[in-house]
Amino acid sequence: MGPVDLTDRVERSTRMDRPIQAVAKAVRRRIGPGRLRDLLHGVPLGKPLHPPLANASVGFWAAAAVLDVIRSDPRAIRALLASGIATAAPAAAAGITDWSVLHREQQRVGFVHAIANLTALGLYTGSLALRFAGDERRGRLLSFAGLGAASLGGYLGGHLAYRQAAGANHAESVGHLVPLGWHDLCEISDLPDGRPVTRRLGYIDLFVLRVGDGVTVLADNCSHLAGPLHQGRLISEEGTACVVCPWHGSTFRLSDGTVAHGPATAPQPSFETRVRRDGVLQVRPALT
Ligand code: FES
């Protein structure tokens, strides 16, 4: 059985579901909607914050391992270990915030990923303490054990990001699936006033909202994890009309699909609209 089969088993295992549910709920309650949560998700960056911070930690620790192997300056190694530990804290905060709003299968893998990384953090902290106490030999051993745990964490993080598509933009394909130019969508008279509905254009579902004579059209599958936006709530956020995804609360501005609040970090593809004389609503992808 290979590592992917083992990870697939973790995805399907229900054994840890109770603690996972409890921790995810506590995280969501603790880090409620607002600026801090948006920052931890990476909304201001336009992409998740956790991966670059985690990469920084692992990079510092990997560099320390190389210096350990060649028996380099102990002060340089301590500085690298301390830098990895310092960046691990915000990386963990960002990661657990993202994790708290994932699908159950993703949370199972993410839970083991977090345990592996916390083990690495503990081992590196112990290693640094031993080195400061003058025990370089045992400090080195703990560091190598920490690198093993961090490598396992990294492997599971890759599985989560690439195979399970946590953190990916789930609306990215829209621009590739809609041919250039204007497309007939539906009769304008078929659209209810003030209530979003979904309409299909070729291979993709669209969120369509008519308010009076104005029509807003966005991709319907949320960029976070593909939730159905047409089932979401309409709200006004600082005077701007927005839609809130029904799955995890990502909030998109109706005017252009940009993100007002995460967990989504990528904007929702939006469409220009026009109505033909015979009442047919036409759409084309908005230029960004
Ligand atoms: S699918 Fe998660 S917020 Fe939309």
161-190 pLDDT tens trace: 999 999 999 999 898 888 888 999 999 999
Q: Give the CA distances from residue 70 to residues 74, 85, 137, 140, 151, in Å, rounded to whole numbers and listed in that order.
A: 11, 22, 13, 12, 21
User: 247 in ligand 1 pocket by Cβ < 6 Å?
Assistant: yes
What would the mean pLDDT of 208-236 be, rounded to a whole number?
96
Q: Average pLDDT of the chain?
A: 95
Q: Is 90 exposed, middle or buried (0-12, 13-18, 19+ CB in 10 A)?
A: middle
Q: Is the pLDDT assigned to residue 1 strictly greater than 80?
A: no
- Residues 56-71 as b/e (b if ≥16 CB within 10 A, e otherwise) read bbbebbebbbebbeee
pLDDT at res. 207? 98
User: 261 in ligand 1 pocket by Cβ < 6 Å?
Assistant: no
Our mutation pick for probing the ligand 1 site, out of 102, 207, 222, counting the most ligand atoms within 8 A of Cβ, is: 222
Closest atom, ligand 1, to C-alpha of 101: 2
64-114 pLDDT tens trace: 999 999 999 999 999 999 999 999 999 999 999 999 999 999 999 999 999
Closest atom, ligand 1, to C-alpha of 246: 4
Ligand 1 centroid–CA 248 distance in Å is 5
pLDDT bucket at 288, cuts 50 / 70 / 90: low
DSSP-based three-state secondary structure for 287: coil
Strands 214-219 and 204-211: antiparallel
How far is 234 from 44, CA to CA, in rounded Å?
Answer: 22
Our mutation pick for probing the ligand 1 site, out of 170, 245, 265, counting the most ligand atoms within 8 A of Cβ, is: 245
